[in-house]
Amino acid sequence: MTPENLTFSSAGTACAAWHFRAAHDDLAGKAGRPVVVMAHGLGGTKDSGLAPFAEGFAAAGLDVLVFDYRGFGESAGSPRQTVSVADQLADYRAAITAAQALPGVDPGRVVLWGVSLAGGHVLSAAAGRDDIAAVVALVPMVDGIAAAVHATKSHSGRELARATGLGIASRISARTGRGPRMMPIVARPGEVGALTLDGALEDYLSIAGPSWRNEIAADVSLELGSRAPAKAAKDLACPLLVQIADFDRSAPPYAAAKAAFKGGAEVRHYPCDHFDVFPGKPWHDAAVTHAVSFLTRTLGRTLSGDRGPLRTG
């Protein structure tokens, strides 16, 4: 399935996006088809493993808009490779507006989908809106403090202190006009990087697309430390699906479960780690199948041959 390339503006900056048109009109209502707005997690780009998710939704009858945040991938904007939660939420909201203007789309039936860091973004972006029909949060990172505590189980105190020190130095450098200090997004255990768990480098490289760069501003830990989008779950006016990797070493599963409870969510559990729901991994197909089932039921229709919720086993 070949998507259409397009751009939209977020705060005056051009964001690159793909539009996957729905394969059929089975989910279309009088106002048009539902549309899914999707973005990646920490440092991710749209060409890094998101297409198979989008193709699954398009095959089910949903249009899909997949986009890169400002400063990442094929989007414009500077500084590059720097995570700003406020900016990324603004990009999500601008992407919603762009998706609502797509031909044949029902602007009142927008679905927000996010993975990892974006799994928290979608809770914040959807809160308080009545034009969001559903939210899907896949292995979401929803609580910065919980994530910091969770990290102590897999990292030494020395590693965490080094990351904090580098983050502080990066922020000081940026604020004094010298630009942020950079580090790899993923690295091997014991090396400097945002994600240094055993296997994380290989897992990320297995989905990395041509526009992805293994580089991020080192103050990312400070940016995310006090972030708590889980609080927004109670303010959702739409159905929520939370997909949890029970052995997730990156995004604490208990924090995702608490957010799901607050949002009255449907919950799916997978006996795997964070990256095992991505394309080429054992639980990817199940994650897509369950999201499609949730969305087709939530949007008032079922796929031909759908016999209800499927088990993860």
What's the pLDDT tens digit per position in 128-157? Answer: 999 999 999 999 999 878 766 766 565 556
| Residue 165 domain-assigned (yes or no) | no
| Distance in angstroms between the alpha carbons of the first and the last residue of the chain | 29
Which helix (H) or strand (E) segment holds residue 285: the answer is helix 284-298
Q: What mean pLDDT, rounded, does the chain reach?
A: 89
| pLDDT at position 239 over 50 | yes
| 275 pLDDT tier (thresholds 50, 70, 90) | very high
Name the β-bridge partners of 266: 241
Encoded tokens for 7: 């751009």
User: How many residues does the structure list for the chain?
Assistant: 313
The answer to whether residue 107 scores a pLDDT higher than 70 is yes
SS3 28: coil
Question: Phi/psi class of residue 61: alpha, beta or left (left: φ > 0; alpha: ψ in -120 to 50)?
Answer: left
Whether the pLDDT of residue 196 is over 80: the answer is: yes
61 part of a folded domain: yes
For 6-56, how does the pLDDT look when each residue is reduced to its tens digit (9 = 90+)?
A: 999 999 999 999 999 999 999 999 999 999 999 999 999 999 999 999 999
Query: Any idea what the CATH number is for the domain that residue 78 is in?
Result: 3.40.50.1820
Asked, for residue 217, whether it belongs to a domain, the answer is no
Give the pLDDT of residue 146.
76
pLDDT category, 310, cuts 50, 70, 90?
A: very low
Contact 121, 95 (CB under 8 A): no
Give the span between the Cα atoms of 30 and 48, in whole angstroms: 34
Mean pLDDT of 91-98: 98
Q: Residue 266: in which H helix or E strand, if any?
A: strand 266-270
Q: Which range marks the domain in which residue 97 is found?
A: 4-147+227-298
What is the predicted pLDDT for the residue at 248?
A: 96
Tally of structural domains, the chain: 1
Evaluate if residue 227 carries a pLDDT over 60.
Answer: yes
Q: What pLDDT does residue 224 have? A: 78
Per mean pLDDT, which range of 93-97, 182-186, 297-301 is the poorest? Answer: 297-301
d(CA 312, CA 308): 13
The sign of the CA dihedral 200, 187, 148, 82 is negative
Would you say residue 310 lies in a domain?
no
Share of the chain above pLDDT 70, in %: 88
Residue 44 and residue 48: Cα distance in Å, rounded? 7
User: Does 179 fall in a domain?
Assistant: no
What are phi and psi for residue 57, nearest 5 degrees? -70, -40
- Is residue 246 in some structural domain? yes
The answer to whether 247 and 154 have CB atoms below 8 angstroms apart is no
Is 253 a residue whose pLDDT tops 90?
A: yes
Q: pLDDT tens across 110-120, in order?
A: 999 999 999 99
Q: Is the peptide bond before 279 cis (omega within 30 degrees of 0)?
A: no
Judged by DSSP in three states, 234 sits in helix
- pLDDT bin (cut points 50, 70, 90) of residue 158 is low
Is residue 64 one of the residues assigned to a domain? yes
For residue 106 the two structure tokens come to: 């029902």
| 309 has pLDDT over 60 | no
202 within a domain of the structure (yes/no):
no
